[in-house]
Structure 1
Amino acid sequence: MADSDHNWRLWGERDPYYAVLTDARFRSDRIEDHRQNFFESGQAFVAHWLTQFEAHFGPLPRQRALDFGCGVGRLTIPLSDHFETVTGLDIAPAMLEEARRNSAGRQIDYVLSDDALSRVEGTYDFVNSCIVLQHIPVDRGMNLLGQLLGRVRPGGGCLIQLSTKRNHGKWRELRYRIRHAVPGGQAVMNLIDGRAADTPVMQMNEYPLDAVLRLFHENGFEKMVVRYEDHGGTDTAMIFARRD
């Protein structure tokens, strides 16, 4: 299996905004012309889903929020408009440095992540992770999800997005499996596609929704809302829930 952490660190160094939102406008050589669009998309996303959460579950405490897989701060920054303090977690140091530059003057603490969330302290009123877990192998991702859910304090909530099914077609799926699961496949497929051998790639892992919902239940989430989304040909689930 291709090393998802290594690839994400490379994305952070080479093309951080495009890695967060795979839109050609956000490539490194174009981001300055489209920076406002990038961050406005994050503001709209956060406002929409907080409104959806409170429409279903009532008022949400607004002291502390955690953004897992924060990238360059696209969602972390608008979260700081709604919560007193925010913590952003990411595995890529270059992403964190860019996020800090984007967040000057805000009450945001950017922290290097690991599989144990060892640098995170306490519990939170809201935990967010969107367009992140799909890039992490399922076994690791389920462990991380359990830890994230455990960080939600009673009465608090979360918004979690993950992928459940790749709808690539046979040829594209074969290419995906060679790139991600065959030793050396990433380099070979990059060369076939006319790219540098070490060009980073992104995994789109398939999470079993039944096991995910069971994990929510085991962590004290009795009330959940699941929304289906088509994310570029991949089935994804957007789950928002309150912890009892």
Structure 2
Amino acid sequence: MLRRARNFISKTWRKFLNIFLPTETATESKQKWNRLAKENARYFVMTDYGEKIDEPTFRASGQKDYQMLIEQDELLRQRLQPFKTKKVLEIGCGIGRLTEFLADNFNEVFGIDISEEMIEHGKKRLANKNNVRLAATDGLTFPFPDSNFDLVFSFIVFQHMPDIAIIRRNLKEIGRVLKPNGLAKIQLRGLPTSKKNWFYGPAFARRDAEKLIVSLPLTIIKTEGENQRYFWLWLEKH
């Protein structure tokens, strides 16, 4: 009974804060992520290993996640192999944690991030990867022509976008830059959090995600992890 009451109070307080606290803008997000990149880029890209995460651990985490999220994804394998002939865009590439391993397996890899600091760090880390191009963006638009990519991928990025309108703008851009019948694999936040946290972003269930893509040239072909930490969408451009 006491635990139930505490949970109710906590949820009510979180909803109150999320209604009345101001929503971060894309410009404010850029400023925040540039600051965090200067402070501790590896940690703020991958917080699971603590603030003292070193380069070997950071790199190993990227390889592990690449294998789990791309290499072992049966849908992506069926639709996109051979990967070596495909062109991929990574949204929120940070300093290239996953980009490095995408580059080892795909023909061309483009990574974008809202933080110029992250991008500059990433360019130094991946200087030996000739098939990688990294660029900073405004967090709303992508500097690429229409129908350009076979795959768009994003992990632990959309969960930090502070506003539903910003997320929809990014999804609109995904629909624009994907080739016809191209795929996107995007992770959204599945569990709610408070705006008082630096990592805030709105949470989604499948019904919410369906609303995000209304009138966009995208179809949800698979979901996974609804009401969990990581809520995944597989999208196809029609």
TM-score using structure 2 length: 0.75
Within the alignment, does 1:120 sit opposite 2:166 as a pair?
no
Aligned to 1:205: 202
Distance in 1 (CA, whole Å) between partners of 2:180 and 2:57 is 35
- The residue type equivalent to 1:112 in the other structure is A
Given that 2:185 and 2:233 are in contact with CA atoms closer than 8 Å, whether structure 1 keeps it comes out as: yes
Q: CA RMSD in A?
A: 2.6
User: Tell me, which stretches of 5 or more residues in structure 1 are unaligned?
Assistant: 169-175, 181-200
Distance in 2 (CA, whole Å) between partners of 1:24 and 1:84 is 30
Given that 2:30 and 2:138 are in contact with CA atoms closer than 8 Å, whether structure 1 keeps it comes out as: no
**Change in 2 beyond 3 A, CA 1:154/1:102:** same
Match for residue 174 of structure 2 among 133, 142, 148: 148
Given that 1:88 and 1:108 are in contact with CA atoms closer than 8 Å, whether structure 2 keeps it comes out as: yes
Distance in 2 (CA, whole Å) between partners of 1:207 and 1:138 is 10
Aligned to 2:37: 12
Distance in 2 (CA, whole Å) between partners of 1:82 and 1:242 is 21
Q: What is the percentage of aligned positions where both structures have the same residue?
A: 23
Aligned to 2:113: 90
**Change in 2 beyond 3 A, CA 1:140/1:164:** same
Map Cα deviations across residues 123-167 of structure 1 (whole Å, 9 max, x no partner).
20110111111111221111112212332212321110011332x
- Say which is worse superposed, 13-22 or 120-129, in terms of deviation: 120-129
Given that 1:149 and 1:216 are in contact with CA atoms closer than 8 Å, whether structure 2 keeps it comes out as: no
Aligned to 2:122: 99
Given that 2:206 and 2:226 are in contact with CA atoms closer than 8 Å, whether structure 1 keeps it comes out as: no
Map Cα deviations across residues 62-109 of structure 1 (whole Å, 9 max, x no partner).
321101111010111111112111111011111001111110121111
Greater RCO, 1 or 2 (C-alpha within 8 Å, sep 6+):
1
- The residue type equivalent to 1:109 in the other structure is R
Match for residue 131 of structure 1 among 156, 159, 170: 156
Given that 1:155 and 1:242 are in contact with CA atoms closer than 8 Å, whether structure 2 keeps it comes out as: yes
Given that 2:190 and 2:226 are in contact with CA atoms closer than 8 Å, whether structure 1 keeps it comes out as: no
Match for residue 236 of structure 1 among 206, 230, 238: 230
**Change in 2 beyond 3 A, CA 1:44/1:142:** same
Distance in 2 (CA, whole Å) between partners of 1:10 and 1:20 is 13
Map Cα deviations across residues 196-244 of structure 1 (whole Å, 9 max, x no partner).
xxxxx222322353242344575444462211177xxx64311223434
Distance in 1 (CA, whole Å) between partners of 2:76 and 2:139 is 31
TM-score using structure 1 length: 0.74
Within the alignment, does 1:37 sit opposite 2:57 as a pair?
yes
- The residue type equivalent to 2:171 in the other structure is L
Given that 1:138 and 1:205 are in contact with CA atoms closer than 8 Å, whether structure 2 keeps it comes out as: yes
